[in-house]
Structures are given as structure tokens and as C-alpha cells.
Chains A and B, each alone.
Chain A
Amino acid sequence: MLTFLARRTLASIAVLFVASYLVYILSALSGNPLADLESSHAINKAQLIQQRVQLLHLDIPPFLRYFLWLGGLLAGVIGKLDLGHSPNGQSVTSELSTAMGSTLTLVTGATIVAIVVGLTIGITTALRQYTTYDYTATFVSFLFFSLPIFWIAVMLKQFAAIGFNNFLADPVIGPVTIVVTALVSGIVWMGIIGGDLRRRILVFVIAGAAAGVVLAYISLTGWLKNPSLGPVAFVVLSLGAAYLITVLSTGWANKKSRNTALSVVGIGLVLYFPLQALFNQYAIINFFTVALIVILIAAIGGATGYFWGGVDRGQSVRTGALTGFVMALFLLLDRFLKSWDVYFNQVAQGRPVATIGSGTPDLTADYWITGLDSFTHLLLPTMALILASIAGYSRYSRASLLDVMNQDYIRTARAKGLTERTVIMRHAFRNALIPVTTVIALDFGALIGGAVVTESVFGWTGMGALFQGAINIVDVNTIMGVFLITAVAAVVFNALADLIYTGLDPRIRVSA
């Protein structure tokens, strides 16, 4: 394994070296870096040109100038990393760190949501192969796969931002919309859950009625204008999550696990009020303390599972920790929504969904308000990225699960009388995840380089926008900086994908 990694690293470094030389020369040849100064009418034109030539070493031909850049890069080994400057005199390293943070914010959230939704769709379609639900989902994912992302993005701006903001001025949902949504929700859930005719009708009625009641409630109480959860909705949501997690993780019949999940929800209700007080301590609340609170609650959930114990303690611990984690997210959601009124009226002036940028400029407010602000700015670009990647993930996980479900060991598992849940969750799902993991790793590696089109449409100043801007003004140093990060990320995530694959699938051994 070590020899494999060593060989791999050496080969990658060689490839990176050649590629960086190539990119350097190509970008230097792609235009004239002095074009804007030469066409300007400034009095000190000659002096400005002279300054830029000195700053960027333009008097050295690019074939040699590359080695100056490489020297600056290699100096990073002794802690003096120098990737040069952009024409306006800013150092590339500082530019990169800002852009990197902004791109990671955008890409991480989008990837997580896309994985969850894509896997869910992929698995449910595989389990309901050749049903209407499967065909519809297949068609829709092909459709998303064929949509140009800039087209989706512009339409999202028009309908999800401008349209929705207009709607929020008077958020009344018409009866026709409610009925149609209820019917659609009923049909979708009926398709996903399946079963015989009686069960289908039951599912249809329950899902349709639930959707209708929730929408009517939202419309009648003007919830969208002043949304809040409150302790009751919090407990209801947590109970739902506890049920779902238990069913998927161990099955509802497992008494210890069930008791764990329910007692975690109980603990959550007890913690609800003291936590509100804690959340209002604006001085200490920031991203890290909030993350710490989430981890603590998940740990409490795990501990609860440990105390319930039983033969298979690990299962209860897992159920408890997962329930605690989801519950903590609901707690945060509840707290964020409490700040919504202030944000909606004072910061966003009644038009919350933003179409441009990554935050309201010059916003000084507490953690909850700035959190909401990033959320409303992240919403549209994230949706665009998700729509584009869900299609791939769902198709891939569907094919992978179908492949696994035809294996002999699944038949064996069924034959020895395991429940369908155990067969799917423990035997099939885990093995189906192996190829999907590698795809996700590669995708994420590629996205770190920036989603150029998405960033361009939404005015997001991430890696992609930095790269595009640099190409337009022939800013070789910045191009090289972005390229370096993209290429290293691609190489690292490629190696990571291989390692994950070998780690998860014992049949595959890397050959040195």
C-alpha cells in the first residue's frame, strides 16, 4: 500500500509539473497583460507600465519566468510561500484564501444536500424498479442532466427569487395550489412506499391530507411571513426524525433502540428552554460554539443509547447519536427562525431571497442574523448546483443498488429469513455505496476549482469567478494559483477515491 502511494505521488508530481509549465505558457500567450494600460490616457502611462512590468517580471520571457514562479512555490517548503501578485498588486495567496473560503461554503452545503437527496431518489427508484415512480424519476433526472446550469440559474433568479419575494408580500396560498400540491404529494408518496392497493390508497390519503393541512395552516397563519417552530412543532419534528432513524437503523421492533430514540427526544424537550437562554448569549455564540453544542447533543444521544444498553449496544448508541444530531439541527432551525422577523424587515426589507453575492454588504449583526443572511444568499446558487448534481448521483446509486440486489449474497440473506430492512440497509445499501463514494469524492475534488458558471451568474466571488476574471485580464499568477489548487485537489481526491474503494471493498487490492 505504501509503495503504491509513493509511486502514485511521484507520478502525480511529475504530471503536475508538466501541466503547470504548460498552463503557465498557455496563459502567458493568451493575451497582452498590459493591454488596459497601453490603451489608457493616463499622464503617467509609461510609469504605470514600468511598475507593472517590474511587479510581474514581464521583462523575462514566460519560458523562464515560470521558474521564478516555481521558486516561489517551492519556497513554501520553508514557510515562505510566494505565488506572486495580481496586476493590481494584491498577493495571490491572500486572494486565494478569500476565494477558497467562499467556494467551500457554497460547494460543501450543495454537495451534502445533493448526496442526501440523490441517494434517496436513487435507492427508492431501485427498490421500486419499473414502476411509474421509477420511470418518472428517471425521466426527471435525465431532464435535469440535460439542463444547462446557466439556464436553470437565470430561471431560479426569476421565479425562486423575484417571484417568491413578490409572493411574500402577501403570502396567501390559493385553494387550487393547495389541492394540486396535496394530490401530487399523495401520488409521490404512494409511488415511493408502494405495496398492495389498500396500502397505496391509505398512503395516498394520509400523505395528501398531511400536505394539504400543512399548506392550509401556512397560508392561514401567514407562517411564511413570520415563521417559527416553537416547542410543539419541535417535538413533533423530532419524534418524526426519531421514528425514521430507528426504522432505518434497527427497525421499530428493536425495543432498546426505540426507547433510546424516544428518551433522546424527551431530553431534547427538557433542554429546549435552557438552550434558548444560552443561544441568546450573543457574546459567546459563533460558528464553533454552535457546532460544539450540536456535537454535545449528539454525544448525549449516544450516551443515552449506551445506558439503555442491551445485547447490541452499538446499535442503540448509533440510533441515539443520530437522533440527537438531527434534533440539534431542529433546535438550531427553531432559533434561526426566531430571528427571521428582524432579518426580514430590517435587513432584507421584505425581499429575503437574494440573487447576487454571498452576503449583504456591511452587515453587522449577531450570529443568527448573519446566519440567515448567508442562508438567503446561498439558497439560489445551492439550488442550481444541487439540481445539476442530483441527476448524476441518483442514476449512479440506482444502477449500483440494482447491481448489488442481483448478487447471490442478497438471495442468501433473504433465504435465511432476514427482514427486508436488514437485507436492504445492511447487506445491499452499504455495498451499493462503495462505487458511489468514489464518484462523490471525484466530484467534490472537481468542484473545489469553483463552479465557474454558477458563480458567474450569481455574482459569487469564489475560485471560479477569480479564475474567469484572471483569464480576462491575462493575470498569469492568479491563473496559476487557482490551477494549482484545482490540480492538487483533483490529484488528492483521485487518490482518496482509490483508497476509499480499496478500504471499503476487500476484494480489491492495489497493486504496487
Chain B
Amino acid sequence: MSSPLGQGPAIGSDIGTGPNSEDPRNEKVRSEQFAGDATPAGTPGDGGGSDKAENAIAMKEVEGLSLGRIVLRRFLRHKGAMISLVVLLLVVILSFSAIGINVLGWHTTGWWKWTYDAVPQPENGTAPTLSLIPQWLGGSGIHLGNHPFGQDDVGHDMFARVMRGMQQSLMIILVTGVASTVLGTVIGSVAGYVGGVVDSLLMRLTDLIIIVPLILLAAIVAHLFSNAGSIALALVLGGLVWTSLARLVRGEVLALREREFVEAARVAGASAARIIFRHILPNAVGVIIVSATLTMSATILTETALSYLGLGVHAPDVSLGSLISQYETAFTTRPWLFWWPGIFIVIIALSINFIGDGLRDAFDPRQRRSLGRKALKEKSEARPKPVTDAGPVADAGA
């Protein structure tokens, strides 16, 4: 179904990838050309539309784009990842704006009327006052009320508590993610680049960390640093979950170390640190980013599980996991105490997982573009046609 119109700019861009392709002006002109070209073809109901758009995408990929641009473009096209990114941002903004920030002495107030440790009078039988059914549908109208997520038996406002728990969980994810990524990258790349005894020692250290049980260390942290709060827990988690990233980075560095550009840098007299950080790691950035994202999604489950077992975040502070454990027995009488923290854990973990999936697809060089079934069918139907036209073989259509 590829129309001659679709072939036109494609050829043009093929030529364009020549010596001039580095010129930013050229790229701009070309992409405008594409934009103008794609609009009429994208009319609904036109079977050739997706084929043509797909051609345009393919041609864009052979344009002189940097790896970063290609990855960004692929990531932006991943619907699940983009939706998840928006959801995650909304959740972060909601949790931090609602009850304000209170970290390391720095304090702001949020727009929500209760704080997580305030004890207002129970109302509405402590049930949630949130209502989403408008009046014309027989509901009580869309409003938040005084306690949209309900209250617990004491009277704590559940919305404020869930927001506080979310802040704690998000903070732990972030600190753990950053700490483990830095540790894993440095240890993995040093082990891979230096090799020899250093490599053996670092890898045995990795083995060591893997077999020391996480729950034991969490218990020790809970015992020794009971006042340090969740930062200590986050740092301990970060100090333990870097192992898989270190192994991945080491493997990547082992392969990159033998490449010519590293040799060239070495001959030019670059120091080991410079070679690792300027030449090798930028080439391994895909592995690192994807692994960091997946570590973060695993961390929220680990953190909530530890808090559930009473080894993570402690009362009077709350995390999503400790909320669930605290209200587990109230499931039959006040189910909302149990539902809200769980739903937010799932939302956060799910969106980070989808973002990680999108990043993995974006960085995967084998992943060209994921075609829909329809586009694939059109493509495969379009392909044999010239053969049938050219050759006298009769049963090609069968």
C-alpha cells in the first residue's frame, strides 16, 4: 500500500544522512517536511496511513540522530510508560503538596487541613466522606468532605496518613535507588575495568552481600538506629540492593573494555578514571538506567514488606507498609483503612515498572519499533506484491 508519495521524502532523507546530516538546520527542515507530509496521510480510515507513518518513523531512525535522541523518541512513543510517568508525577505532587514537607528541619505546610498525627473528632462514623457520584446519577455529588479516605478508630485522618506514608515510601525509593545505582556502577565498572585480584575481591564481596539476609540487617538497623528514621533504612537498603547492577555493569564493561575507542583513549594517555567515566560508562548507560528503575520498583515492595513485619518505618511515623500492618485487623470493620495504602503501593510500583519497561524497550537496540498486528499484516501483504507482479508464478496469491 505504499504510495509513491510516501517514498519521496524517504529517498530524500536517505541522501540527507550523508555528510550534511550533522547540520542541525537540515534536520529541522527535514522534520518539518515530515510533519507536513504525515498530516494528510494520517486521515482516518486510510489503510495506508499506518504504513506510511511507520515508514516515516523508520526514516526518522536512519536520520543522523544521536543515541540519546533516538532513545528519547522511542521512550516518548511508549504509551504505557508515558501514562505511568504522568501518573507517578501526579502522585508525587499530590503527596508532597497535600501535607507539606518536613525533612531535616526544613518545614512547609500543605493545603490539606489535617496533619498525619492530628486527632480530629470522628465524623460520618469514621467512614470515607469522598464521593465521586454526581447528584444527577443519584449520588451525593462530587466532593471531598472532611475525611475523604475516612478515619481510623482513634480519629486520625486517613488521607493525611496515606499522604505521609507515601512521602516516606517515595523518599526511601529515591534514596535507595540513587545509593544503589552509584554503588553498583562504581563497583561494577572498577571490577570490570581493573580485572585480576580486584575483580575477584569485588565479586566475592558482591556474593557476600547477596547471601546476608536483608531482614536481619533491617532488624539491626531498627534496633541500633531507632531514632534515625527512614533515612537509615533507605541507606541500608541502598547498600544491599546494588549487587545485580554491579554484575550487569561489570559484564558490560568487560565487553566495552576491548573496544577500539577505549584502546585509543588509553594510548592517548587518559587515566583509568577518565576512561571509565568518560568513555565506557556513557556506553553502558542503558543498562544502568533500566536496572536502576527496576531496583526502585522492587524497593517499594521490599520497604513496605519490612514495614509490614515491623522492621521498617516505625510509629509514630508511618509508611504505606506500616499502615497496612497497623490496620490489617480492621479489615472487616473499616476496610478503607486497608484499601487506600494498598492501592497507592500498587499505583507507584506499577507505574515504575511500566516506566522501566518503556526504558528497556527504548534502549534495546534489537527493538526496532513495535508494530501493531494490523500494521504487520499490511506490511506482510505489501511485501510479496512486487514479486507476484514481476514473476510469472501463478500460485503466489494462495
Q: Which residue of the partner chain A has the closest CB to B357? A: A142
Q: Does A332 contact B (CB under 8 A)?
A: no
Query: In the bound complex, do residue A491 and residue B350 qualify as a contact, i.e. CB atoms below 8 Å apart?
Result: no
How distant is A269 from chain B, measured CB to nearest CB, in Å?
45
Query: In the bound complex, do residue B308 and residue A150 qualify as a contact, i.e. CB atoms below 8 Å apart?
Result: yes
- Looking at the complex, which one of B220, B305, B372 makes contact with A150 (CB distance below 8 Å)? B305
Over the window 110-133 of chain B, the binary record of Cβ atoms lying under 8 Å from chain A Cβ atoms (1 yes, 0 no) is: 000000000000000000000000
- Looking at the complex, which one of B204, B213, B338, B342 makes contact with A483 (CB distance below 8 Å)? B213
Query: CA separation between A483 and B376, bound complex, in Å?
Result: 52
Q: Does A244 contact B (CB under 8 A)?
A: no
Binds B, one of A24-32, A371-379, A431-439: A24-32
Query: In the bound complex, do residue B204 and residue A142 qualify as a contact, i.e. CB atoms below 8 Å apart?
Result: no
Query: In the bound complex, do residue B223 and residue A31 qualify as a contact, i.e. CB atoms below 8 Å apart?
Result: yes
Query: CA separation between A145 and B352, bound complex, in Å?
Result: 11
Query: In the bound complex, do residue A22 and residue B208 qualify as a contact, i.e. CB atoms below 8 Å apart?
Result: yes
Q: B residues within 8 A CB of A15?
A: 204, 207-208, 211
Over the window 203-238 of chain B, the binary record of Cβ atoms lying under 8 Å from chain A Cβ atoms (1 yes, 0 no) is: 010011011110111011001100000000000000
Binds A, one of B18-26, B89-97, B176-184, B324-332: B324-332
Inter-chain contact total with CB atoms closer than 8 Å: 108
Q: Does A468 contact B (CB under 8 A)?
A: yes
Answer whether A18 and B321 are a contact pair too, CB < 8 Å, given A150-B308, A151-B342. no
Q: Does A40 contact B (CB under 8 A)?
A: no
Query: In the bound complex, do residue B331 and residue A30 qualify as a contact, i.e. CB atoms below 8 Å apart?
Result: no
Answer whether A142 and B223 are a contact pair too, CB < 8 Å, given A23-B213, A130-B376. no
Query: Which A15-67 residues sit within 8 Å CB-CB of chain B?
Result: 15-16, 18-19, 22-23, 26-27, 29-31
Query: In the bound complex, do residue B211 and residue A16 qualify as a contact, i.e. CB atoms below 8 Å apart?
Result: yes
How distant is A197 from chain B, measured CB to nearest CB, in Å?
13
Answer whether A143 and B350 are a contact pair too, CB < 8 Å, given A22-B208, A29-B220, A150-B308. yes
- Looking at the complex, which one of B204, B219, B321, B376 makes contact with A30 (CB distance below 8 Å)? B219
Over the window 139-168 of chain A, the binary record of Cβ atoms lying under 8 Å from chain B Cβ atoms (1 yes, 0 no) is: 000110111111100100010000000000
Q: B residues within 8 A CB of A108?
A: none
How distant is B331 from chain A, measured CB to nearest CB, in Å?
6
How distant is A206 from chain B, measured CB to nearest CB, in Å?
24
Interface on chain B toward A: helix, strand, loop, or mixed SS?
helix
Query: CA separation between A26 and B221, bound complex, in Å?
Result: 10
Which of B309, B332, B345, B349 gathers the greatest number of chain A CB atoms within 10 Å?
Answer: B309
Over the window 277-308 of chain B, the binary record of Cβ atoms lying under 8 Å from chain A Cβ atoms (1 yes, 0 no) is: 00000000000000000000100010011001
- Looking at the complex, which one of A131, A149, A150, A467 makes contact with B215 (CB distance below 8 Å)? A467
Q: B residues within 8 A CB of A18?
A: 208
Over the window 111-145 of chain A, the binary record of Cβ atoms lying under 8 Å from chain B Cβ atoms (1 yes, 0 no) is: 00000000000000000001100000000001101
Query: Which B216-263 residues sit within 8 Å CB-CB of chain A?
Result: 216-217, 219-220, 223-224
Query: In the bound complex, do residue A449 and residue B213 qualify as a contact, i.e. CB atoms below 8 Å apart?
Result: yes
Q: Does B373 contact A (CB under 8 A)?
A: yes
Query: In the bound complex, do residue A142 and residue B353 qualify as a contact, i.e. CB atoms below 8 Å apart?
Result: yes
A-B contact list, 26 entries, CB within 8 Å: A15-B211, A19-B208, A19-B211, A23-B212, A27-B220, A30-B220, A31-B223, A130-B370, A130-B376, A142-B350, A145-B349, A146-B301, A148-B346, A149-B301, A150-B321, A151-B345, A154-B328, A154-B338, A452-B215, A467-B213, A467-B215, A472-B219, A479-B216, A486-B211, A487-B211, A491-B211
6 A-B pairs closest in CB distance: A146-B349, A146-B350, A30-B220, A151-B342, A487-B211, A471-B219
Where the two chains meet, the residues of B that have a C-beta atom closer than 8 Å to any C-beta of A are 204, 207-208, 210-213, 215-217, 219-220, 223-224, 297, 301, 304-305, 308-309, 321, 324-325, 328, 331-332, 338, 342, 345-346, 349-350, 353-354, 357, 370-373, 376
